Amino acid sequence: MKNENLVPKVRFKGFSDPWEQRKLFEVTERVTRKNTQLQSTLPLTISAQYGLIDQNTFFDKQVASRDVSGYYLIKNGEFAYNKSYSKGYPVGTIKRLDKYSEGVLSTLYILFKVTNADSQFLVTYFEGNKWYQEVMKRATEGARNHGLLNISPKDFFNMHLFIPVKSEQYKVGSIILKISCLIAANEDKLEQLKTLKKLMMQKIFSQEWRFKGFTDPWEQRKLGDYGNIAMNRRIFKEETSTEGDIPFYKIGTFGKNPDAFISQKRFIEYKSKYPYPKKGDILISASGSIGRTIEYQGENAYYQDSNIVWLNHDERLVNSFLKQFYLIVRWSGLEGSTIKRLYNKNILKTNICVPLVDEQNKIGNFLSKLDSLIAANEDKLNQLKKLKKYLMQNMFV
């Protein structure tokens, strides 16, 4: 009879046998070779994000001049475990050496190589919660009392693993590796896009770079020269409910999910009688995390007065340009102060350097396209991370 606890929820077609409980020493072998001949002078450390990496790079300082002849020598494809835990360091982090052909590690680490399992499967397994729980269970109480979690090599190699047959190990390890590579590639692409956006913002707003055909000088103005500050009419607590027709955004839910609502009747009345943003207007948080912005997309929603405001400006100012300006704005009267509120006067007195409307449109559209690319890549990256999390939770027993 199958042990249902040893059968994962998600499997590749053709696999139905329960996974087996094994001990680590049954599928691996400890490595204790010393670097006595100084075969390597590359000192390594474990990073939860980057794996086994050069200490000089990771810590941004030189450590290679130390005597490393007494260190362990680790070779490509072998694993290392940092048996000590300190604040901020993941308990039980194990990484395989992939970046370099060899390197050296302190003897505080436990090194091993795979003898009877798929290496990539174990890479994936060591990322999962099951391994984390096993390490926590085995960690010695004495070490915890000193602010560290420590585990002896004997206890380490006696820890339990749950593994399938090798052919299934290979498939599981391969699919997680593919998704991990996609995640890494998208993270790199996202970082490049953000760097490009930052660079273009600097060049455009310093007027170092301009679109072809535009030569007129930009005008130095104040935001108040273009209009005034607007906000929705005040909504009192008794006018809201936890459920309803129209979401009411307070400063705490600005840009998030609403936790309060107003009636359709009140919304229609207030929208017709009092100030209300036009589609494309840039809403600003005036308290809390001051200066955060959201582009109003035309949806039915209401916003907390005085805490969420917008500049009701004339046609000389383009919202797509204004949205980008708000990302680099220096609000008048706030620099160097401890003020935690953005008052109307701060906004209206803020300096802005503005080109002609046609150039504003060019700039706004160009930077908006970069924003859309960034948002699309962030969404893709989040979907990949969710997929990996789902598989990690359901492809392992």
Q: Are residues 24 and 155 in the same domain?
A: yes
Q: Is residue 397 part of a domain?
A: no
Long-range contacts of 66-69 (CB under 8 A, 24+ apart): 68/35, 68/38, 68/40, 68/41, 68/43, 68/104, 69/34, 69/35, 69/36, 69/38
Q: Are residues 111 and 225 in the same domain?
A: no
What pLDDT sits at residue 1?
43
Could you tell me the two tokens for 262?
A: 């107003």
Q: Is residue 107 part of a domain?
A: yes
What pLDDT sits at residue 265?
95
Q: Is residue 199 part of a domain?
A: no
Q: Mind listing the pLDDT tens digit for each residue in 352-387?
A: 999 999 999 999 999 999 999 999 999 999 999 999
Number of folded domains that form the chain = 2
Q: Is residue 65 part of a domain?
A: yes
What pLDDT sits at residue 57?
76
Q: Are residues 159 and 26 in the same domain?
A: yes
- Residue 137, pLDDT above cutoff 80: no
Q: Is residue 43 part of a domain?
A: yes
Q: Is residue 260 part of a domain?
A: yes
Q: Are residues 151 and 24 in the same domain?
A: yes
What pLDDT sits at residue 222?
98
Q: Is residue 227 part of a domain?
A: yes
Q: CA torsion, points 107, 148, 154, 128, in degrees to nearest 10?
A: -100
Residue 278 structural domain: 219-354
Query: What does the mean pLDDT of the chain come to?
Result: 91
Last residue of a domain, one of 336, 354, 372: 354
Q: Is residue 7 part of a domain?
A: no
What pLDDT sits at residue 4?
64
Q: How far is 73 from 56, CA to CA, in rounded Å?
A: 17
Q: Mind listing the pLDDT tens digit for each residue in 83-111?
A: 765 444 556 689 999 999 999 999 989 99
- Residue 36, pLDDT above cutoff 50: yes
- Residue 203, pLDDT above cutoff 80: yes
Last residue of a domain, one of 354, 371, 387: 354
Q: Are residues 135 and 266 in the same domain?
A: no
Q: Are residues 265 and 133 in the same domain?
A: no
CATH number of the domain at 248, please. 3.90.220.20
